[in-house]
Amino acid sequence: MFNPETFVEEKVRELAENVDGKAIIACSGGVDSTVAAKIVEMAIHENLLVVFVDTGFMRKNEAKNVEEVFKRAGFNYRIVDASDEFLNELEGVSEPEEKRKKIGAKFIEVFERAAKDFGAEYLVQGTIAPDWIESGGGLRDTIKSHHNVGGLPAKMNLKLVEPLRDLYKDEVRKLARYLGIETAERQPFPGPGLAIRVLGPITRERVDMAREANAIVEEEIEKYYDFESRPWQYFAVLLPVRSVGVHGDKRAYGYTVVVRMVESLDGMSATYFRAEHELLDRIANRITREIKEINRVVYDITNKPPGTIEWE
Ligand code: XMP
């Protein structure tokens, strides 16, 4: 049985003994990186710089919310707005692995600048077991090149610290609750963000559509179910598919949004969530009413396997 108290006590001691210089972490505000940051911060205090890189593929209000979390956690932090740089780099790119690799490379570039400025010798990462198992570090073939293992340590001349490497998601959530980190209440969000929830070519407009659709899905689900009854993960995916519909009494030729809700323990396998039709109605109505380019909403009933949770 995983005991958060013992884990924290032992890790903090081990880190305090071994990390003897400045360290830096790229923190998305997600549960993994925030918990990793908190544990290292408990060991080396202001010698850890917590950096949030705004890639422009973040959820609505993300940078603002993350900054609040950092403040409350008492971190020494920096928010870097690199959204223009990322969007320029990704404009027009469709292929999923190309998106992931370009985002990974740009991320390294932006983050390396911050690391140099701070004089960091160590790199902290919130890698958890499913990340490296699915990135080809284990027995399985590479399914997706996960953003948080996508080359950061290999290309940077920094010593790697991965305090959560052997843990699964449910254990990290227990740690977050134990440490009083608010993101424990938040669902997982992939490193490449909305870029992999916009299928087909990336454009600013399409990323904005995906951001709005994701916000609606999150809001409606969080209003409908209390925390205990919510799905493990829920989001919207914008498809490049257009279809004919009616808007008012006019013909429309708009985009399609997929709503995805899954139950899972650790993201390694998943079943689709048996959502109430009332909830699906509210989501579909709001998306088609509030995002004028979208006239069709479909619900994904695929389990993992054979599907993955994200579409890319
Ligand atoms: P898949 O789509 O592989 O997703 O079934 C499993 C879980 O991992 C999340 N995910 C990622 N998380 N970096 C991350 O930190 C990534 O590149 C990435 N890709 C997928 C996904 O949201 C789900 O919770």
- pLDDT tens for each residue of 65-109: 999 999 999 999 999 999 999 999 999 999 999 999 999 999 989
- pLDDT tens for each residue of 34-73: 999 999 999 999 999 999 999 999 999 999 999 999 999 9
pLDDT of residue 259: 99
- The model's pTM: 0.85
Atom in ligand 1 nearest the alpha carbon of residue 145: 17
Nearest CA to ligand 1 atom 3: 308
pLDDT of residue 112: 92
Atom in ligand 1 nearest the alpha carbon of residue 28: 15
pLDDT of residue 189 exceeding 90, the answer is: no
Pairing of β 76-81 and β 271-272? unpaired
Q: Rounded mean pLDDT of 192-218? A: 97
Atom in ligand 1 nearest the alpha carbon of residue 192: 17
- pLDDT tens for each residue of 110-157: 999 999 999 999 999 999 998 777 665 544 455 676 655 445 656 678
Residues within 6 Å of ligand 1 by CB: 144, 146-148, 188, 190-192, 233, 267, 304, 308-310
Q: Ligand 1 pocket test: which of 199, 258, 310 has the largest number of ligand atoms within 8 Å of its C-beta?
A: 310
Q: Ligand 1 pocket test: which of 141, 149, 309 has the largest number of ligand atoms within 8 Å of its C-beta?
A: 309
